[in-house]
Amino acid sequence: MNAADGPLISLVVTGRNDGYGVRDRLLDTLRFNHRELSARGISYEYVLTEWAPDPKWPLLADLIADTLPETHGLVTSYIVDPAYHETLTMNPRVPYMDYLAKNVGIRRARGRFILVTNVDIYFGRRVLDLLESRAFAPRTVYRAVRCDLKMGFKHEDPAWDVLEDPDNLEAPPRPLKQPLLLGGSGDFVLLDRETFCELGGYNEVYRLARVGVDANFLVKAYASGLDFVDVGGPVYHINHAGSYRLSYEAYKGQEAEAPWGDRRWHYHGVVYDNPPTWGLRDAPMRDLGSGRWRLDFSWDAVPPLVDLKRIVLPVDRVGRPQPKRYKK
Amino acid sequence: MGLLQALGLVPSARLAAANERLRKLESKIETLSQKLSDAQADARTWQVKAEEARQRAKDVKAEAARALQRADKARAEIEKEAARAKKRAVDVPALEHRLDGAEQDLAAARNHLMAIEVKLDILEGAAAVLDRRTRTLLSRSPQDAVR
């Protein structure tokens, strides 16, 4: 894959068709986002990692091809052998490893800039304005605040007035705070590909939780000297049962039992130095046609179970605000 | 006249005049006596007032002595306090320096503690995973495991 002639933006997402509504949310948001991106002439590719898909269900990539033919040629999917999940997980309670999956997409993305987001996110106007303007710089993390749409919000292709109606929101969004602009960062991080790869993507050393891994990346980016910019407008999130934001209170006092891992881990305080093979670099890839690739299992692609020297402390930034770190 | 004088007699007019003078002198004596008596009373009053004034002066003098004593004590206290303040002023920067050092040590200790806790989490997770894999392996082929 030659990156030189790649698109401006790679939208990197992950998902699994397992009967919990991912399919509908993905199709709804992709339909909307594709329409808006195309209307503004923004060149993009949609990089979808299907992490350990259940063979009982059709692949999301096939559903996209069937349902949204207008996206033909724009979608690349990586189907990751379930054996990778089995060998990489360090917490059997966590059924899905979002950020390992996203790393698969980030490593293979071709766009000059990578926008890591989720399959239940509609882009807002300011986000689209930014992408259209191309007024973004390298070594800069762009963040957008997240608005949660009310539970039960169902519009296959919502019009702007519906999406932007405050009555359709659960609550006004919480503003992003300097210096790290934390809060829902799994839903929107835009950064140039070169820097994303230089940082080695998301944490692959601590594989006990999915919660906090997005924030942990921002801590690393900040310690690495990157600038942070708030786009100034929101993305819209389709709320759904079982999401972390709606359910974490249910695990109060038994945080270690949660399906997203223990939210109290020190993601503000430590960072990581991923091995050079991050993103399953050495996984054998098989072309399934129509932009679909399968990553077959190989022990050669699996990093060590334990690699403690790769857990490191972030560097302080002289003359810049120091994020709060110690949480317990 | 001469004969009367020779006989030791005076004319009645002269006697009357003498009597009149006598009466006047007695009256004057009476007045003077009264004035003397008043003067003596005044003298006694002034003597009392003088005594009171002397007593007040004595009291004021004693009070002044006490005030002086208090002032001396206060001055000594102020000097002591000034000396203490001066000592404190000298110690504050040193204290702040020590405090900064202690805060840095605490932050470094916390950072290392976090790293250690994360590493322990990883070790615990790995141990659990290996345990699970071993149990699965053993339950699948107990004969192989024994061999």
pLDDT of residue A316 exceeding 90? no
Residue A4 lies in a domain: no
> What count of other Cβ atoms lies within 10 Å of the Cβ of residue A236?
25
The answer to whether B123 contacts chain A (CB < 8 Å) is yes
Closest CA to A163 of A194, A125, A220, A193: A125
Taking CA A139 as the corner, what is the angle to CA A134 and CA A144, rounded to the nearest 5 degrees? Answer: 60
CA-based max dimension of chain B: 194
Residue A2 lies in a domain: no
The string of pLDDT tens digits covering residues A2-15 is 445 789 999 999 99
The string of pLDDT tens digits covering residues A247-296 is 778 888 888 899 999 999 999 999 999 999 999 999 999 999 999 999 99
What mean pLDDT is reported for chain B? Answer: 89
Q: Report pLDDT for A1.
A: 42
ipTM: 0.90
Residue A152 lies in a domain: yes
Q: What percent of chain A has pLDDT over 70?
A: 97
Residue A1 lies in a domain: no
Average pLDDT over residues B49-62: 92
pLDDT of residue B3 exceeding 80? no
Domain CATH number, residue A316: 3.90.550.10
What pTM was computed for the model? 0.79
Is B117 in contact with A308 (Cβ distance < 8 A)? no
Q: What percent of chain A has pLDDT over 90?
A: 82
What mean pLDDT is reported for chain A? Answer: 93
The answer to whether A299 contacts chain B (CB < 8 Å) is no
Is B122 in contact with A90 (Cβ distance < 8 A)? yes
Residue A142 lies in a domain: yes
Q: The domain containing residue A201 runs over which residues?
A: 9-325
Closest CA to A33 of A13, A5, A61: A13
Q: Report pLDDT for B93.
A: 83
What single-letter amino acid sits at B140? R
The string of pLDDT tens digits covering residues B90-146 is 778 888 999 999 998 998 899 999 999 999 999 999 999 999 999 988 888 666 655
Q: Report pLDDT for A103.
A: 98
Q: How far is B67 from chain A (nearest CA, A)?
A: 59
The alpha carbon torsion through A252, A255, A259, A262 (nearest 10 deg) reads 140
Residue A3 lies in a domain: no
The answer to whether B116 contacts chain A (CB < 8 Å) is no
Q: What distances in angstroms separate CA B47 from CA B40, B42, B56, B140, one per listed residue?
A: 10, 8, 14, 130
What single-letter amino acid sits at B64? A
DSSP state of A61: H
Is A269 in contact with B111 (Cβ distance < 8 A)? yes
Residue A215 lies in a domain: yes
Domain count within chain A: 1
Cβ contact A99:A85 at 8 Å: no
Residue A128 lies in a domain: yes
